[in-house]
Chain A
Amino acid sequence: ETGVTQTPRHLVMGMTNKKSLKCEQHLGHNAMYWYKQSAKKPLELMFVYNFKEQTENNSVPSRFSPECPNSSHLFLHLHTLQPEDSALYLCASSQVGGGTIQYFGAGTRLSVL
């Protein structure tokens, strides 16, 4: 148990569906991150939030829409995804000043049909 909880753990969706991934951290951190890990590829940073403000968007397509309503919660809204978006989506959190020690959730395994 890392203190970072992601739901759902598995998700299958069609290309026309809209779904959301949820991340919650119970560590009192103030920075949150979304990463994507495709099969046999390194983790790729998608978004970074500092105190609820988005500070990094790593050229992510607009079909991925993040939301950070407070420092403890992070969402990734998905719509009109493509099969190549199938991947493990990981959420992490950290203290702003200690951002190099990040705590990761177990991830959501997404399959787009």
Chain B
Amino acid sequence: DAKTTQPPSMDCAEGRAANLPCNHSTISGNEYVYWYRQIHSQGPQYIIHGLKNNETNEMASLIITEDRKSSTLILPHATLRDTAVYYCIVRVANTGTASKLTFGTGTRLQVTL
């Protein structure tokens, strides 16, 4: 799996957009970008994933650069409940077997009043 690099921490004011970057310069053509988050002392929660097109769901938007070497997770209107550690994971999808996820240290997002 391709290695990812994320800033260790970020702050965001409540109500503003939170933009979380991830670098994955060694990504392969068949690898997807996945985002999870982990609120303190809970299990990780899947947010969104994409291959090369931008994706949006009810939780967030994912913007992937044209060369696919980096991506940005956007929380359009951050709330205090979005305070969490956000993990960017690059992985081949649908391998036909159970897949192991490799979590790095992620970005700790602190949303403030």
CA of A99 to CA of B100, assembled, Å: 7
Which residues of chain A are near B91, meaning CB under 8 Å? 100
Give the A interface residue count (CB, 8 A): 32
* Complex interface: stretch among A11-19, A40-48, A59-67, A77-85: A40-48
CA of A5 to CA of B41, assembled, Å: 15
Q: Please determine whether A4 and B43 come into contact, CB atoms closer than 8 angstroms.
A: yes
What secondary structure prevails in chain B residues at the interface with A? Answer: loop
CA of A15 to CA of B95, assembled, Å: 39
Which residues of chain A are near B2, meaning CB under 8 Å? none
Contact pick for A56, options B32, B100, B102, B104, CB 8 Å = B100
Which residues of chain A are near B94, meaning CB under 8 Å? 97-98, 100
The minimal Cβ–Cβ distance linking A22 to chain B, given in whole angstroms, is 15
CA of A72 to CA of B36, assembled, Å: 23
Q: Please determine whether A90 and B43 come into contact, CB atoms closer than 8 angstroms.
A: yes
Q: Please determine whether B46 and A103 come into contact, CB atoms closer than 8 angstroms.
A: yes
**Which of B45, B93, B98, B100: most chain A Cβ within 10 A?**
B98
Q: Please determine whether B43 and A48 come into contact, CB atoms closer than 8 angstroms.
A: no
A residues near B (Cβ < 8 Å) are 2, 4, 31-33, 42-43, 45, 48-50, 55-56, 58, 88, 90-92, 94, 96-107, 109
B residues near A (Cβ < 8 Å) are 32, 34, 41-46, 49, 89, 91-106
